[in-house]
Structure 1
Amino acid sequence: MKAPRNGAKNVYVQGLEVNRPDVDEGLTPPLAARQGRCAGFDMGPRPSSWGTGRHAAPVSITQDDEVPAPRADVLHGEGAPFHDTSATDAAVTSVELPVADRARAVPYTLTSSSDRAMAPSGWTLQRSSGGTAWQTLDRRSGESFAWDGQTRAFIVRPPGTYEKYRLVLDGEGTPAEVELLA
C-alpha cells in the first residue's frame, strides 16, 4: 500500500488505485489483495466523496438498526456427526439429519475428519415432507477438503421449509460434523 501525499494535513482519502485507476470502493477488493496488487491512496486535506457510494460499505447481515439474528445449527442428534465438534467422526453412506421442527435450511456445512482423505467427495442433500418421498436440494461431486478438520459451507437453492432432511454420500465417507443452518 502506498500513500505518498499522506501527512499531517492530508489525512482524507480522495481516491484509490489498485493497479487500475478510479476504484470507488471503501474496501480494497479482496481478490486484488490476494493477488499482491499495489494499492495507491490519493490523500488530501478535506473529506471527499470517495467511499461514500451506495455499494462502498462492507456487506452487513442487518439493515439499518435491526438486531442481528445469525443462523444457527438446527440438528439435534447424538454423537458424530451432530455433536458440534470435529474431534470425532463417523463412517456413513447416508445419514438422516434430525431437525426438531420444520426448518428452513439455507446453508449447510460439512467438516472433514482428522484424515481428510476419508472425507466425502460427492453427496446429495435431500428433503422430505413425510419421510417417504425424497427430493434433491443440492448435489455435489468432485469436492475436496484442503486440510484435516476443514469446515466447508454449501448453499441450498432454493431454500424451503421441510420436516426431514438427509445426506446421501456417493459411497462411504467419514464426515466429522454436519450442520444445517436455519
Structure 2
Amino acid sequence: MAQQPAHVETIRAVDGFVKSVADFDHVQTQGVNAWSGWYAKLGTSIALIAAGDTVVYAHAIYRYPETTATLIVFTEKSVIIHSTDDVEAKTPPVVTVVARNSLTNFTLSSSEGLTKGDAHPHTWPGRLELSLTYPALADPIQVSADGWTPEVSDEPSALAKLVKSLGEDLAS
C-alpha cells in the first residue's frame, strides 16, 4: 500500500494542534521536509488508524532534555494515545486506541469564572484541566490547555470545543 494524501493530511492536522508545545519541534521535525524518525513512525500508526476520520484535537507533552513524550489524538471516533520515556529509542512507537464513545466520565475545571452582563475577560474560560476515564485504559487521560483562542477572543479553543463533544460522547 502506498502512502496516501489522507495519511499526510492526518498528521498535518495533528501538527497544527501540537506545534505550540515547547520544545516539541525538537522531536517532531528533521528539517523542512521531514519528520524525525520517532515522530514519523508514530505518524504512520496514527495515520493508518485515523485516515479519513477528522482530527478534532491533539495534545502533546514533551519534557526536554529528559526526552519523555506523550501524544494524545482525538478524532471523531477514537482516542489515540502514545507515551514514551525516550523519543530517541530505536524501538518503534506503539499506540493505544480506544473508542471515544466508551468514555465513562470526565472531570473539568477552569481558571476563569463567569461574569454578569456583557463585560467578560477575553481569556475566558481560562485554563481548562480535563481528566478523562476510559475503561480500557489503566489511568485517566490528563489534558491541560487554554480554553480560549488568542487570535480570536470570541472563538472557543479546540479544547473548549472538544469538551462539548465529550459531553455528547457520554450521552451516546
TM-score by length of 2: 0.23
Q: Which has the larger radius of gyration?
A: 1
TM-score by length of 1: 0.23
